[in-house]
Each structure stands twice: as structure tokens, then as C-alpha cells.
Amino acid sequence: MQTNNKLILISAMSATVLYFGLVAVGQPHLIASTASITLFTAMLWVTEALPIPVTSLIPFSVFLWRGY
């Protein structure tokens, strides 16, 4: 597995853990999902696992797809 693929997987797993952690402590779904999408995007941005222009489109596409 290439390094970029590992970074993407680690970012997705971290965002998932954050989401379920926030829901477990009583945060609403919208806050938990926004925080997890932000973490996922930030990790990809900092590590440059994806090109930055692609990474910058993730929040827009996910929020529109989820209907926020």
C-alpha cells in the first residue's frame, strides 16, 4: 500500500473515531459530522495525501451530498 493511500485511510479512520466519540459524549449529529469532515479535510491538507485543490473541494461536496 502506498504512503498516500495509508494517509487517506488513517485520516478517514481518525474522522470516524472523532465522530463516534463526539456522539458518545452527547454532541448533536450535525456538530459531530462537521467536526469529523473538518478533521478529515485538515489531515489530508497537511499531509498532502491528495492534491490541495482536490482536498479543498471535499467539504463542499460532502456537505452538499449530506444535505447540510
Domain boundaries, the chain: 3-66
Q: Of 57, 53, 58, nearest to 11 (Cα)?
A: 58
Q: Is the pLDDT of residue 43 over 80?
A: yes
Q: Is the pLDDT of residue 1 over 80?
A: no
pLDDT of the residue at 26 = 96
The 8 Å CB, 24+ separation contacts for 10-14 are 10/43, 11/39, 11/40, 11/43, 11/44, 11/47, 11/49, 12/40, 14/39, 14/40, 14/43
Confidence (pTM): 0.88
Q: Is the pLDDT of residue 53 over 80?
A: yes
pLDDT of the residue at 67 = 80
